[in-house]
Structure 1
Amino acid sequence: MTVNVEYINPFLMASSRIIKEMCFVEAKIGKPYIKEPIFLDNTIIIIIGFTGKIKGQVLIAFEHDVACDIASKMIMMPVTEMDDFAKSAISELGNMILGNAATIFSTQGISMDITPPTVGTGSMAFTHAQATNICIPLEYDNNKKIEINIAIKGV
């Protein structure tokens, strides 16, 4: 199944914009690729679904040290452990990214509602029925990486 790039670009635009505004870093968008949505032990994932004209979910994945770095930048204090406050910060980052993407889609006449974010940690695997998981890495500060995983159903 192919996914129209017009459905991917709003997520990328929103991700790079919000990361720049909230974390004060310029994230470089890497090459998109198809990835099985399987994550290892040291991973923190923000899961947000969306419904409307297009349906699916976004999994924003960070290795533990990158999640701590992003949370540190957001709350402007050092974060060394992903406690409830740090998880709340990166959860809100995901909320802002998807909210911004929904706004971009609305300017194209595509309505979208998003679910509240869920934060997952540890080894996880997901199955997307009728959807291909497209992974787009965002890199900053010499090798720190955030993965934006987008699975859109039926387009």
Structure 2
Amino acid sequence: MSTSKHIQTILNGTIYALKTILPMNIDVQSPSITSEPYIQQQIGVLIGIVGDLKGRIIIDGTPETFGAVGSAMFGMPLEGEMLESFTGEFGNMIAGNLCTHAGQNELNLDITPPTVMVGNTKLYGFHKAFRLPATIEGAGSITILLTIDEEE
């Protein structure tokens, strides 16, 4: 399978995962290609992808957006360490569902444990990246960044 087909499968799987996990409507905009560095503003989660394709998924948002999602999913407000922990678990849920979707489309992927990033972070070290902005009804906006490592 070609790299472009892998990328399409991952982008579609990410959208599928978001719509499956989130208990609210989500409007996903068209993906665009972006170059390094990517600047994460407030809070995000990074999960590595290994297998048929190597890269990372970064889900970037604000504490308010992740808090509203957590509140909608669990019925209680999240803040501080609970919010940071939820952000990592939210990333795990998205990436795990993405891997399941990819497997159903003959793409073998696995994920690394999540790394939660709080504060302003510049991300370097990727060959190319696809930016997938989304608006979650009643919560705010997130950006999903799919970075692809250069093939050996």
TM-score computed with the length of structure 1 as normaliser: 0.83
Q: Shift of the alpha carbon at 1:65?
A: 1.5
Provide the C-alpha distance between the structure 1 equivalents of 2:86 and 2:138, rounded to a whole number of angstroms: 23
Is 2:142 the partner of 1:146? Answer: yes
Aligned partner of 1:86 among 83, 86, 89? 83
Provide the C-alpha distance between the structure 2 equivalents of 1:11 and 1:128, rounded to a whole number of angstroms: 22
Which letter does structure 1 place at the counterpart of 2:147?
A
* Residues 128, 11 of structure 1: alpha-carbon distance in 2 compared, 3 angstrom cutoff: farther
Q: Which moved more, 1:9-18 or 1:119-128?
A: 9-18
Q: Are the aligned partners of 1:74 and 1:89 in contact in 2 as well (CA < 8 Å)?
A: no
Question: What is the 5 A alignment of 1:3-152?
Answer: 3=4, 4-19=7-22, 24-35=23-34, 36=36, 37-40=38-41, 43-79=42-78, 81=79, 83-130=80-127, 132-141=128-137, 144-152=140-148
Deviating runs (4+, > 3 A) in structure 1?
none
Q: How many residues are matched?
A: 145
Q: Are the aligned partners of 2:45 and 2:60 in contact in 1 as well (CA < 8 Å)?
A: yes
Identity among equivalent positions (%) equals 28
Provide the C-alpha distance between the structure 2 equivalents of 1:75 and 1:30, rounded to a whole number of angstroms: 26
Q: Are the aligned partners of 1:91 and 1:118 in contact in 2 as well (CA < 8 Å)?
A: yes
TM-score computed with the length of structure 2 as normaliser: 0.85
Give the secondary-structure state (helix, strand or coil) at the position aligned to 1:98. helix
Give the secondary-structure state (helix, strand or coil) at the position aligned to 1:110. coil
Provide the C-alpha distance between the structure 1 equivalents of 2:44 and 2:110, rounded to a whole number of angstroms: 20
Segments of structure 1 that go 5 or more residues without pairing to the other structure are none
Q: Are the aligned partners of 2:13 and 2:102 in contact in 1 as well (CA < 8 Å)?
A: yes
Provide the C-alpha distance between the structure 2 equivalents of 1:66 and 1:140, rounded to a whole number of angstroms: 8
Q: Shift of the alpha carbon at 1:34?
A: 2.5
Segments of structure 2 that go 5 or more residues without pairing to the other structure are none
- Per-residue CA deviations over 1:103-137 (Å, capped at 9, x if unaligned) read 1111122211100111111110111332x121111
Q: Shift of the alpha carbon at 1:143?
A: 7.7
* Residues 143, 30 of structure 1: alpha-carbon distance in 2 compared, 3 angstrom cutoff: farther
Q: CA RMSD in A?
A: 2.0
Provide the C-alpha distance between the structure 2 equivalents of 1:143 and 1:74, rounded to a whole number of angstroms: 12
